[in-house]
Amino acid sequence: MKVTVSRKAHFNAAHRLFRKDWGFEKNDEIFGKCNNPNFHGHNYELIVSVTGEIDKETGFVIDMKILKDIIKSEIEDAFDHKNLNLEVPEFKELNPTAENIAVVIYNKIKPKLDDVMELEITLYETPRNFVSYSGA
Ligand code: NI
């Protein structure tokens, strides 16, 4: 019997979407306002979902305190109030789209979990735009 438990988290971060190997016009055409050279910010909402068997002794899939601490140390401390392009090494050469941020978050959290647990990351960049990634 597998159950999914989820925890919400939040971080504010700035980014700019562009490719160094494209000129300004092509970047402007593809990324529009998101290519603003002075960056812009988002209030990212994150949902981390862990699926696994219920532990017979504790009744938990994962202790929420442990999940909370993983999200804080791996994601909030690393991303909150940061410029993703300039201050987060994972985005030095990777465009910080919501898609890529979700994959980076997944790759940071997955190794911290028990191998048998499944992980899904849902990342809201705006209240209406969100992406999800589960390692496929
Ligand atoms: Ni943006």
The full set of domain ranges for the chain reads 2-133
> Other CB atoms closer than 10 Å to residue 120's CB: what's the count?
17
Q: How far is the CA of 16 from the centre of ligand 1 (A)?
A: 7
Q: How far is the CA of 10 from the centre of ligand 1 (A)?
A: 16
- pLDDT score of 60: 97
Q: Answer yes or no: pTM beyond 0.85.
A: yes
pLDDT surpasses 90 at 110: yes
Site of tokens 């989820």: 6
pLDDT surpasses 90 at 1: no
Instruction: Give residues with Cβ within 8 angstroms of 20, minimum separation 6.
Output: none
Active site residues: 34, 81, 125
- pLDDT score of 2: 95
Span 95-114, average pLDDT: 98
Fold annotation for 2-133: Tetrahydropterin Synthase; Chain A (3.30.479)
Cβ proximity of 88 and 78 under 8 Å: yes
Q: How far is the CA of 100 from the centre of ligand 1 (A)?
A: 12
CA contacts within 13 A on the Cβ side of 28: 4
Q: How far is the CA of 26 from the centre of ligand 1 (A)?
A: 17
pLDDT digits (tens, 9 = 90+) for 32-68: 999 999 999 999 999 999 999 999 999 999 999 999 9
